[in-house]
Structure 1
Amino acid sequence: MSKFEFTVLEGSPATLGATWDGSGTNFAIFSAHATKVELCLFDSRGRRETARIPLPEYTDEVWHGYLPEVRPGQLYGYRVHGPYDPANGHRFNPNKLVIDPYALELQGDIRWHDAVFGYRIGHSRDDLSFDRRDSAFVMPKCVVVDPAVTWGPDIRPNIPWAETIIYEAHVKGMTARHPDLPDNLRGNFGGLADPKVIDHLVKLGVTAIELMPTQAFFDDRYLIEKGLTNYWGYNTVGFFAPATRYISPGANVHEFKLMVRRLHEAGIEVILDVVYNHTAEGNQMGPTLSFRGIDNASYYILADDPRYYFDTTGCGNTVDLTHPRVLQMVMDSLRYWVEACHVDGFRFDLASSLGRDRDQFSPSATFLDAVRQDPVLSKVKMIAEPWDTGANGYQVGNFPPGWAEWNDQYRDTVRSYWKGDAAVLPALASRLMGTAERFDRRGRRPWASVNFVTAHDGFTLMDTVSYNDKHNDANKEDNRDGHSDNRSWNCGVEGPTDDPAVRDLRDQMRRAMMGTLLLSQGTPMILMGDEVGRTQGGNNNAYCQDNEMNWLKLDELDPRDAAFCEFLRGLIAMRRTRPLLSQPDFLHKGNKRGVDVCWLRPDGKEMSEEDWHNPEARTLGMLLRNKTASLLALFNSHYESVSFHLPQETHSAHWVRIADSHTGELHLRRAPAERHRRLDVPARGLIVLEDSAE
């Protein structure tokens, strides 16, 4: 290692991370149990360590120092000294270069080697052994960043929750094979910032894009050894840095900010899918990348035997948000993405783990209370995935006011209904009304239920109507991974078919399920590619497939898929132009804005208790109305058509058919009125009618 002389001043513990102030850089890192922290500087390629500098001060459990000579672009990492005592929860090993938890940018990727583990791989004492090999040669390096950027007149769209329509997408999946992008923009933030990509979202009519993990993550060793990748990215190792794989060649962290600004200019909000419940370091047999080597006993919840981890995530460890410094890191990270990067909200993976004190979840947990009172975070959209793998982990409806939640009950009910299951009508009515039995409390609103039929985890919409069983062989886990309860129906043939009758039925089912989604109170979420028939070949856990199985295809669309995309655009336009479909209040107990709902059976009479409890009933009319307009949705999941009596006690008694899932027709502006008192709703069909006083 070359010897360079650096001036090292005391610096400040106030701001963690590497902070460039225009003159020099302050370095500060928290560790309550370390005995010494060394700052390691590297050459511009990250291959040679040019200096190793002990941080001179230790204040309030923060190690810090100021280097006037260090400028933006400097590569660095840390070596942290302390006891290697796994039996007592300590795993310090200064032979391992560790990533700064507050690093704003990383350079390079992990090259998997036994040296990144704090113990000797294959040793008879497993993780109780100690590895003395230097890991710097295979570790990514942190980058000192100048955070200044010219935003210009960036105006947040500030879409009200009641008007929000979310599109769940993947940065690479959205851009990797876009027909109009140059190669250097495919698969990265620059591609997603391109007007040609954004135009697809604008034409579709969504108001927010929810990006699957974009914070720094790496490909797991076991996946690389199988020739696979961590495509989804749910294994974070840097909560402030964007994933390097999504930064264009020659670009830097500011490319992410450009993407946000371009989406804002199009009126689209940016929501980040974030993973604060665990890290990429796994269990006691995992690598030493950052937190484990900095202060294992502080960053993670340890088991009763502190050699092991208390795990509610299924990923080997759980981040300890009850520790004040760890809580500070997560809060600082969230504020960074809002204030410095202008994002509009977050979706929290396995969010129940964030509200835990070991086995108990509480809506008043430290982290949830901190978010609620935070002057920055309380003003952006917060979405929970309200479950984890631990005891009492399923918490749908139990998050505090201000939060929205993924509603998997919505998915299961809608799929079950349209595949023809019995005894689903009461649940269907509940889902159409925002699942009020779970969310109508403490002043929460219908938008708290994020409704979806499909998400990244599970079948796509096309696969939901094409496969009865999962087909995950490409994941190389002998088809054991992924859920087996998919509530799907292949319409008579497993997988692709040229049978026109089966394909027609699948199209009808797709239109009916998306029609249901856009008719429901709550916040609708659409999965990337569902609008154009994207299929994963029956793989319902495509987390490791970085290929065309997961990439969006917009060119050479099958005419059926092109027609379905137009139908979905129409449904979204219907929702955005009919306020009855996105009410700010729950409707099940009446509505102070003069909106009510009436449930009808096919003869036009209101549903009785006996009707609701008839397990064979599969038809339902939903009548929404106020003083000026009425909407009537007729649902029929029977295998044969059903005749419905149309209500006559409305504004003009002239019903206009605006959407028909059987034919795929949409008439949002002008359409002939239904002059008949009865209307045949086709098998597995949904028809939407409108009556207006205008």
Structure 2
Amino acid sequence: MRFRDVGGHVSRPFPLGVADTAPGVPDLPDAVNVAVYAPGLEAVDIWYSDPEGRMASARLFETTDGVHHGTVEGLRHGARYAFWERGAPLPAGGQLLVDPYARAVVTDDAGAYWGAHVAQGFDWGEDARPHVPWRDTVVYEAHIKGQTMLHPDIPEDLRGTYAGFAHPVMIEHLRSLGVTTVELLPIHFHVDEPHLQDLGLPNYWGYNTLGFFAPHPGYATARARAAGPQAVQDEFKGMVKLLHAAGIEVVLDVVYNHTAEGGKGQQTLSWRGLGDGHYYRHDVEGRYLDTTGCGNTLNFNEPAVVRMTLDSLRLWVEEYHIDGFRFDLAVALARDSHNHFTPQHPFLVALGADKALAGIKMISEPWDVGMGGWQTGHFPRGFVDWNDHFRDTVRDFWVADRGILAAGGQGGSVARLAGCLAGSRELFAGSGRGPLASLNFVTAHDGFTLRDLVSYERKHNEANGEENRDGHNHNRSYNHGVEGMSGDGRIVADRVRTASNVMATLMLSLGVPMITAGDEIGKTQEGNNNAYCQDNELTWLDWSLTEDQRAMLDATRALARIRREFLAGQPHAFPVREDNAYMLWFNAEGAPMGQDEWTDPETRLVQMLLGSPSGRLDGLVVFNGGLAARQIRMPGQSSLMDFPLKDRRGAKFELRYGTSPAARRRRGAVLKAGETDRVDGNSITIYRS
């Protein structure tokens, strides 16, 4: 390999990265402005491929506040580049330091990572963000590759790709579920951890970022990858454009809490070599202060780290038209210099004040693994939090308690479940937010799928190479009598009903529901509740559906329609009254729930009556968490006196849906206020007024 040196010219320390132009820098032919924050280095060289394909080097002659910068000739679009300390021996393995601001990351024949200089620009046409109100939002958490790898109606060359995700077949599937917003598992450029490489396994989920400004090329079609980084970017943007045209938002799961460099002594790829003491958090003895469990934690008390993250977010909003972000281990981004979480952290303040990010959906995973790491409900206004309280409560009531009751034990009362149905108000009131700050979920990418939640009582993670030590041990699951898949028709039917109860609760609760991709079609991971390293049929969605899987799909679609109906008369900031006057609770006799009933663990049935500020009833939902069928009485005219209705006379309830077969057979039955009906055990019955 031949090398040559290239001189520098006047430059600027901004913008960071490689830029075709910079403020105040003469427009020199065939020259770019290069700037990198590298406070740990005395002098920096940039190594890059010149127009003749040779590796060239240039010194970044100027330094401003830790930023090394210079004007470099011959670094053209498509060229790969990286940084190294001037005068230091080049590494034997060829791995130089990747630019944290690289718009693309590529790999050479030796497996070393490089940044790539890529031209920007894309024909967005009439693209417009859907700007779906939170009240109307239904989130669908999905993996780009796993979503379409096995879909028979998507062309083979598009399966597992950005283009495949936006195929008309997939868009129609999402729309049939009422999905308004897809939340994509990490698509930033990511790499596999060394221990996984030793096991011959990949990091399938992608929570190991090496490029915060670069889309992952592994999710592009073979044609786009062969054409280069520009084509990869264009394919991703084309996916966003098509989803927007269908009215679907795109939210990215972003991992700014740590990087792919791991702990001390592990691989040096970028930030560690450029300025370890500035980019990462350390304790007083110089050890990594790790609140992520991934070996390192980025230091959000360092302005350069905050700026890097904000610059990355702006790039994805402005150049890729992204609609929002889900912040992985978000507590790690808001710990102060004393390692305490604060909702007034400068990073969170900057997010809320940034003009480019106005109106963008912000979702927090409100915990990390450090002290005081559980902060659900404590993020500031403008954020919606993943609500693990909702997850655990719904799992307890419908799944774990189902097993306890079947064994002759006693489950919990409906009180906690009712709190979740009402939007977990007690969790979010302290931060000045209401139910729309609660992102409700029961499953996610990590943990059991919904089908496995009702089919396994123990995790089965042996394929991960850690002797089943990884993953959660307390899953609040119940296998309905047999561990794993079963051919017993009764067991299968019971599992479908329990799963339908979970889905119905998710879709009927105040807040923002999130469906995990595959739950709507009964996806199984064979009991693996930590399938982060399984890039195969175990994690890919299987679209060859059995009868019970089709039943689950039909149920999810029906519940999505009912949710839209129930919301039709609600304001976009419901509930509008702090006393929750548009949600009332009744016992089996149709009388208002008493305090003794709420606290009695034997009380496993409640009727939830919903209304609208327009002065009408929206519907009645009966939750029966007991094993036995019960006779209920519709709330009578006297009970409706507490409801702010325009007309209480002649109130009627039409049976619209039920999670039990008997209720579905009776669909369309009409009952008057005060009349009686029968609801099956372990079921949800929905009436429309």
TM-score normalised to structure 1 length: 0.90
Q: How many Å separate the matches in 2 of 1:642 and 1:589?
A: 32
Q: 1:124 corresponds to which residue?
A: none
Give ranges in structure 1 of 5+ residues lacking alignment. 85-91, 112-136
| Match status 1:355 vs 2:334 | yes
Q: How many Å separate the matches in 1 of 2:246 and 2:662?
A: 28
- Partner of residue 539 from structure 1, selected from 528, 536, 540: 528
Alignment of structure 1 residues 194-205 onto 2, 5 Å: 194-205=167-178
Q: How many Å separate the matches in 1 of 2:166 and 2:73?
A: 36
User: Cα 1:175–1:94, aligned 2, differ >3 Å: closer, same or farther?
Assistant: closer
Query: 1:369-420 CA deviation, whole Å, 9 max, x = no partner?
Result: 1101111223200000000000000000000001000001101101111132
User: Cα 1:203–1:512, aligned 2, differ >3 Å: closer, same or farther?
Assistant: same
Q: How many Å separate the matches in 2 of 1:95 and 1:531?
A: 46
Q: 1:671 corresponds to which residue?
A: 668
- Partner of residue 218 from structure 2, selected from 239, 245, 265: 245
User: Cα 1:246–1:287, aligned 2, differ >3 Å: closer, same or farther?
Assistant: same
What SS class does the counterpart of residue 440 from structure 1 fall into?
A: helix
Kindly indicate whether the alpha-carbon contact (under 8 Å) linking 1:71 and 1:144 is maintained by their aligned counterparts in 2. Answer: yes
What SS class does the counterpart of residue 520 from structure 2 fall into?
A: helix
Alignment of structure 1 residues 634-649 onto 2, 5 Å: 634-649=622-637
Query: 1:594-630 CA deviation, whole Å, 9 max, x = no partner?
Result: x522111111111111111112221111111242224
Q: 1:40 corresponds to which residue?
A: 47
Q: 1:106 corresponds to which residue?
A: 105
Kindly indicate whether the alpha-carbon contact (under 8 Å) linking 1:460 and 1:536 is maintained by their aligned counterparts in 2. Answer: yes
Kindly indicate whether the alpha-carbon contact (under 8 Å) linking 1:7 and 1:69 is maintained by their aligned counterparts in 2. Answer: no
User: Cα 1:342–1:8, aligned 2, differ >3 Å: closer, same or farther?
Assistant: same
Alignment of structure 1 residues 24-39 onto 2, 5 Å: 24-39=31-46
Kindly indicate whether the alpha-carbon contact (under 8 Å) linking 1:301 and 1:309 is maintained by their aligned counterparts in 2. Answer: yes
Q: 2:439 corresponds to which residue?
A: 450
User: Cα 1:641–1:261, aligned 2, differ >3 Å: closer, same or farther?
Assistant: same
How far does residue 49 in structure 1 lie from its aligned partner after superposition?
A: 5.9
Q: How many Å separate the matches in 2 of 1:617 and 1:428?
A: 12
Query: 1:438-469 CA deviation, whole Å, 9 max, x = no partner?
Result: 11245423111000111111110101111111
Kindly indicate whether the alpha-carbon contact (under 8 Å) linking 1:20 and 1:72 is maintained by their aligned counterparts in 2. Answer: no
How far does residue 268 in structure 1 lie from its aligned partner after superposition?
A: 0.3
Q: How many Å separate the matches in 2 of 1:177 and 1:218?
A: 24
What SS class does the counterpart of residue 223 from structure 2 fall into?
A: coil
Query: 1:37-95 CA deviation, whole Å, 9 max, x = no partner?
Result: 110013799xx8611211121123211122243221011111135999xxxxxxx9997
| Match status 1:379 vs 2:359 | yes
| Match status 1:658 vs 2:647 | no
How far does residue 199 in structure 1 lie from its aligned partner after superposition?
A: 1.8
| Match status 1:685 vs 2:683 | yes
What SS class does the counterpart of residue 330 from structure 1 fall into?
A: helix
Of all paired residues, the percent bearing the same amino acid is 42
Q: 2:122 corresponds to which residue?
A: 149
Q: 1:71 corresponds to which residue?
A: 76
| Match status 1:97 vs 2:83 | no
User: Cα 1:224–1:43, aligned 2, differ >3 Å: closer, same or farther?
Assistant: farther
Query: 1:278-304 CA deviation, whole Å, 9 max, x = no partner?
Result: 111111121001100111011001122
| Match status 1:625 vs 2:611 | yes
Q: How many Å separate the matches in 1 of 2:664 and 2:618?
A: 17
User: Cα 1:457–1:435, aligned 2, differ >3 Å: closer, same or farther?
Assistant: same
- Partner of residue 337 from structure 1, selected from 301, 308, 316: 316
What SS class does the counterpart of residue 358 from structure 2 fall into?
A: helix
Kindly indicate whether the alpha-carbon contact (under 8 Å) linking 2:8 and 2:59 is maintained by their aligned counterparts in 1. Answer: no
Q: How many Å separate the matches in 2 of 1:642 and 1:665?
A: 13
Q: 1:171 corresponds to which residue?
A: 144
Q: How many Å separate the matches in 2 of 1:664 and 1:234?
A: 45
User: Cα 1:493–1:443, aligned 2, differ >3 Å: closer, same or farther?
Assistant: same
Q: How many Å separate the matches in 1 of 2:221 and 2:8?
A: 35
Q: How many Å separate the matches in 2 of 1:484 and 1:583?
A: 39
Q: How many Å separate the matches in 1 of 2:468 and 2:49?
A: 44
How far does residue 543 in structure 1 lie from its aligned partner after superposition?
A: 0.5
User: Cα 1:454–1:517, aligned 2, differ >3 Å: closer, same or farther?
Assistant: same
User: Cα 1:455–1:443, aligned 2, differ >3 Å: closer, same or farther?
Assistant: same
Q: 1:434 corresponds to which residue?
A: 423
| Match status 1:475 vs 2:475 | no
User: Cα 1:641–1:49, aligned 2, differ >3 Å: closer, same or farther?
Assistant: farther
Q: How many Å separate the matches in 1 of 2:562 and 2:269?
A: 49
Kindly indicate whether the alpha-carbon contact (under 8 Å) linking 1:164 and 1:207 is maintained by their aligned counterparts in 2. Answer: yes
Query: 1:104-128 CA deviation, whole Å, 9 max, x = no partner?
Result: 111127x9xxxxxxxxxxxxxxxxx
Q: 1:411 corresponds to which residue?
A: 391
Q: 2:496 corresponds to which residue?
A: 507
| Match status 1:611 vs 2:597 | yes
Q: How many Å separate the matches in 2 of 1:177 and 1:169?
A: 14
- 1:345 corresponds to which letter in structure 2? G
- 1:67 corresponds to which letter in structure 2? V
How far does residue 10 in structure 1 lie from its aligned partner after superposition?
A: 2.3
User: Cα 1:44–1:290, aligned 2, differ >3 Å: closer, same or farther?
Assistant: farther
Query: 1:343-389 CA deviation, whole Å, 9 max, x = no partner?
Result: 00000000010110243100001111110111122320000000000
Q: 1:287 corresponds to which residue?
A: 267
- 1:319 corresponds to which letter in structure 2? L
How far does residue 138 in structure 1 lie from its aligned partner after superposition?
A: 3.1
Q: How many Å separate the matches in 2 of 1:562 and 1:401?
A: 40
Q: 1:208 corresponds to which residue?
A: 181
- Partner of residue 550 from structure 1, selected from 526, 535, 539: 539
User: Cα 1:582–1:277, aligned 2, differ >3 Å: closer, same or farther?
Assistant: farther
| Match status 1:305 vs 2:303 | no
Kindly indicate whether the alpha-carbon contact (under 8 Å) linking 2:192 and 2:202 is maintained by their aligned counterparts in 1. Answer: yes
User: Cα 1:166–1:656, aligned 2, differ >3 Å: closer, same or farther?
Assistant: same
User: Cα 1:315–1:304, aligned 2, differ >3 Å: closer, same or farther?
Assistant: same
User: Cα 1:188–1:630, aligned 2, differ >3 Å: closer, same or farther?
Assistant: closer
Kindly indicate whether the alpha-carbon contact (under 8 Å) linking 2:4 and 2:57 is maintained by their aligned counterparts in 1. Answer: no
Q: 2:644 corresponds to which residue?
A: none
How far does residue 188 in structure 1 lie from its aligned partner after superposition?
A: 1.7
Q: How many Å separate the matches in 2 of 1:438 and 1:586?
A: 15
Q: How many Å separate the matches in 2 of 1:186 and 1:664?
A: 40
What SS class does the counterpart of residue 555 from structure 2 fall into?
A: helix
Q: How many Å separate the matches in 1 of 2:88 and 2:116?
A: 28
Q: How many Å separate the matches in 1 of 2:200 and 2:679?
A: 50
Kindly indicate whether the alpha-carbon contact (under 8 Å) linking 1:436 and 1:586 is maintained by their aligned counterparts in 2. Answer: no
In angstroms, what is the RMSD of aligned CA positions? 2.3
How far does residue 424 in structure 1 lie from its aligned partner after superposition?
A: 3.9
Q: 1:264 corresponds to which residue?
A: 244
- 1:529 corresponds to which letter in structure 2? G
User: Cα 1:198–1:680, aligned 2, differ >3 Å: closer, same or farther?
Assistant: same
- 1:108 corresponds to which letter in structure 2? T
Q: 1:225 corresponds to which residue?
A: 198
Answer with 207-216 or 64-73: which moved more. 64-73
Kindly indicate whether the alpha-carbon contact (under 8 Å) linking 2:78 and 2:116 is maintained by their aligned counterparts in 1. Answer: yes
TM-score normalised to structure 2 length: 0.90
Query: 1:206-225 CA deviation, whole Å, 9 max, x = no partner?
Result: 00000000001011221122
- 1:175 corresponds to which letter in structure 2? T
How far does residue 511 in structure 1 lie from its aligned partner after superposition?
A: 1.1
Give ranges in structure 2 of 5+ residues lacking alignment. 22-28, 225-231, 405-410, 641-647
Kindly indicate whether the alpha-carbon contact (under 8 Å) linking 2:5 and 2:57 is maintained by their aligned counterparts in 1. Answer: no
User: Cα 1:49–1:469, aligned 2, differ >3 Å: closer, same or farther?
Assistant: farther
Q: How many Å separate the matches in 2 of 1:599 and 1:322?
A: 47
Q: How many Å separate the matches in 1 of 2:342 and 2:92?
A: 36
Q: How many Å separate the matches in 2 of 1:665 and 1:337?
A: 47
- 2:155 corresponds to which letter in structure 1? P
What SS class does the counterpart of residue 491 from structure 1 fall into?
A: coil
Answer with 437-446 or 481-490: which moved more. 437-446
Q: How many Å separate the matches in 2 of 1:94 and 1:299?
A: 24
Q: How many Å separate the matches in 2 of 1:191 and 1:634?
A: 40
